[in-house]
Amino acid sequence: MKLQVQGAHREKAAAALRRSSRELRKTITMVEELEQIVGLALALAGDAGSDQMLELQKLDHLQQKILGVADFLDALSEQMPPEWNIDAKGASRCVLLAELGAKLGSPEAPDDTPVTAPENYELF
């Protein structure tokens, strides 16, 4: 017997995890753009010492961590039993960014941004 909560929006847990991973991968593009802007600003300032370059590498580390979490969510979604359903829409209400919450909470949300996987690299 399956318990269904009245009024709850149920969907496969694996689909919600894949959607979450996709949004994380989109975030990587934003971090890459920020890294380029900060790098250019440091170069134009002419004061890019080793301390500033180490700080700039934190953006690379952030990209790697985001990608790692996205890969983890994808791996979990592949292992998820198909009968596991969740209320992603209800869970998305805790997300303060309305657009992100809508994308995470709804399988019908438009996916307008292409996801490109960055190169796997470590600079440390």
Whether the pTM exceeds 0.75: the reply is: no
Tens of pLDDT, residue by residue over 32-80, are 999 889 888 878 877 667 777 787 888 899 999 999 999 999 999 999 9
84-108 tens-digit pLDDT: 999 999 999 998 888 898 888 887 7
What are the structural domain ranges in the chain? Answer: 11-105
Q: How many CB atoms lie within 10 A of CB 78?
A: 10
Of 84, 81, 85, 73, which is closest to residue 18 (Cα–Cα)?
Answer: 73
Q: What is the pLDDT of residues 105-122, one digit of tens each?
A: 887 766 665 544 444 444
SS3 of 8-40: the string is CCCEEHHHHHHHHHHHHHHHHHHHHHHHHHHHH
DSSP state of 108: T
pLDDT at 81 over 90: yes
